[in-house]
Amino acid sequence: MSGSFIGRLLGQFGGGSRSRAAAVGGLFTAIVRQAREPGFYRVLAVPDTLDGRFEMVALHLLLVMRRLKGQGSEAGKLSQRLYETMVDDFEKSLLEMGAGDSGIARRVKTMARGMAGRIRAYDEALADSDGRRLEVALDNNLYGTVDPVPEGVLAAMAAYVRACAAVLDAQPLESLMTGEVRFGQAPA
């Protein structure tokens, strides 16, 4: 009898956090891999800069967070941990690039604050049937430093984002909870 109690106890307290950590690691690795697809930078004119790469990771992260939203407390915890992992990853990246300690805190704080606005803008745009609203959100965030944005790029990126949202919406929640995620086809 004590063995089953200890097994339940370990499953609830030990295994749960370990499995969540594995799920976060799998999701974040897939998000970064997708965000680094060369076609985004070559074909869709995403700036191949620190800011451009941040925007691509943020975009894919919020698509996953959007899918997890409203799916229960465990999905909420996974989403929160995924967000924290992104912030930690950017902080480590800035350190590796040689940014000073005081500069890192300021830069990461700015990125984290900006994420709330991006999440809201993209989430509202995806919920709106007017495709133009998503293009405006992409223009303001992803292409904020590109002037002018090449013809057709905003529409193509908006179509990609909508396709990703549809793929994620169709993906079983259980697979996301174990760290498996699929996105739409990246441009080649």
* Domain annotation covers residue 160: yes
C-alpha 139: how far from chain center: 18
* Domain annotation covers residue 1: no
CB 121 within 8 A of CB 141: yes
Most confident of 47-56, 94-103, 149-158: 149-158
DSSP 70: T
Structural domain count, the chain: 1
* Domain annotation covers residue 185: no
pTM for the structure as a whole: 0.84
Confidence of residue 151 (pLDDT cuts 50, 70, 90): very high
Residue among 23, 14, 18 at smallest CA distance from 177: 23
C-alpha 158: how far from chain center: 16
Give the pLDDT confidence of 33-75 residue by residue, as tens digits: 999 999 999 999 999 998 899 899 999 999 999 999 999 999 9
* Domain annotation covers residue 187: no
Average pLDDT rounded to a whole number, residues 132-142:
94
Range of the domain at 168: 14-177
Question: How many other C-beta atoms can be found within 10 angstroms of the C-beta atom of residue 164?
Answer: 24
| Structure-token pair, residue 68 | 């997890």
C-alpha 1: how far from chain center: 43
| Structure-token pair, residue 60 | 């894919």
Q: Is the dihedral of CA 158, 75, 118, 142 positive or negative?
A: negative
